[in-house]
Amino acid sequence: MNHSQHDRNRWAILLCVLPLLLLCSSGVPAREPGKLANVMILATGGTIAGTGATSTTTVGYTAATVGVDRLIQAVPELKTVANVKGEQVFQIASENMNNEYWLKLAKRVNALLKQDDVDGIVITHGTDTIEETAYFLNLVVKSKKPVVIVGAMRPSTAMSADGPINLYNATILAGSEAAVGKGVLVLLNDQINGAREVTKTNTANADTFRSWELGFLGYMQDNKPYFYRQSTRRHTADTEFDVSNLDTLPAVDIVYGYANMNRLPIDAFVAAGDKGIVHAGVGDGSLARPAVEPALIDARKKGVIIVRSSRVGNGIVARNGEAKDDELDFVVSDTLSPQKARILLMLALTKTNDTKAIQQMFYTY
């Protein structure tokens, strides 16, 4: 083979492997330098799409009234950081979130992320249940491409509305390679939180989201994401859950623990046919005796899966600590809040009724 033939062959080999070289370790193709990311904005309602009577109305406004096109038009700077398209998936205040909306949203997100012309997704959402939607998607999205959920604490009509800057930052984050493989992210107030830990902590303040002791993942600053940590728990493309063929999820409810508690809500949920109950216990997931523990034992005997969680907000619920979980065949929630334990239990029940397997899922996700 002469020199020029040899060079041609080397070029041919390089052109063949180039697409592979462009695949970063996450399996998501690296973007060509200088090219804007294609970001889809899925709108679902919330205060970010809310309107108040005056510019000083920051409570008592109406959530979920502004459509996705107006949300995008209100932030012309979006065009400078991504090629954005919008879609209204539904329009609700997020206290009305339910399993059916979650399934619809997850299916749409998964369909869009399969497209080569979608690099990332922003979901605009009410803040009241944003943490639950984020965790649900964190378990069922089948892609490593960024999914960023964003909300606002002040309606779009308010003085110093936080929606536009949050949407701008979320769009940058969803189009960034730094966010690939990080799981579903929640972004408000320049703080990037992971779906598993994030929770709303103040009813009205713009600085409301915390990941408490486990900490948030990073900041948005000066048009860039800065990550400092990432979750060690499995998520998105690495989970065993698949909702593509589901129209409903198993019935699971939460029973809140408090002094002087009685067994009525537990019995009512069992009678209603629940497949699982999450008990938001006091302290380390403790169960009141004699009112609550016998009711949960009775429920378990009827086949209902019992998860002991805690209303405290931080810390591990110790297995065989405040209850004999092995003997009673209960599951503990690890560090998951009751509302997130409910989500994992619903998804777990789509796979198995085996309490050992379910316990393992609580230590995995």
Question: Per CB under 6 A, does 218 bind ligand SIN?
Answer: no
C-alpha 217/C-alpha 227 separation (Å) is 6
63 binds ligand SIN (CB under 6 A): yes
**46 binds ligand SIN per the rule CB under 6 A:** yes
Would you count residue 359 as binding ligand SIN (CB under 6 A)? no
Q: How far apart are CA 363 and CA 148, in angstroms?
A: 24
**Least distance in angstroms from the C-beta of 129 to ligand SIN:** 6
Stretch that binds ligand SIN, among 34-42, 87-95, 141-149, 279-287 (CB under 6 A): 87-95
Which of these ranges, 24-32, 42-50, 67-75, 186-194, lies near ligand SIN under the rule CB under 6 A?
42-50
Q: Does residue 47 carry a catalytic annotation? A: yes
What is the rounded CA–CA span in Å between residue 218 and residue 215?
9
Cβ contacts of 48 within 8 Å, gap of 6 or more: 71, 124, 125, 126, 150, 151, 152, 156, 163, 166, 167
Q: How far is the CB of 351 from ligand SIN (least distance, A)?
A: 30
- DSSP type of residue 318: P
Q: How far is CA 307 from CA 138, 239, 299, 364, in A?
A: 20, 20, 12, 15
Angstrom distance (rounded) from CA 231 to CA 365: 10
Contact call for residues 263 and 291 (beta carbons, < 8 A): yes
Q: Which stretch binds ligand SIN (CB under 6 A): 16-24, 45-53, 239-247, 260-268?
A: 45-53
Site for ligand SIN in 120-159 (CB under 6 A): 126-128, 151, 153
Is residue 194 within 8 A of residue 211, CB to CB? The reply is yes
Q: Residue 47 or 239: which CB sits closer to ligand SIN?
A: 47
- Of these, 58, 94, 166, 335, which contacts ligand SIN (CB under 6 A)? 94
Binding footprint of ligand SIN, residue count (CB under 6 A)? 12
Residues annotated as catalytic are 47
Residues that bind ligand SIN (CB under 6 A): 45-47, 63, 93-95, 126-128, 151, 153
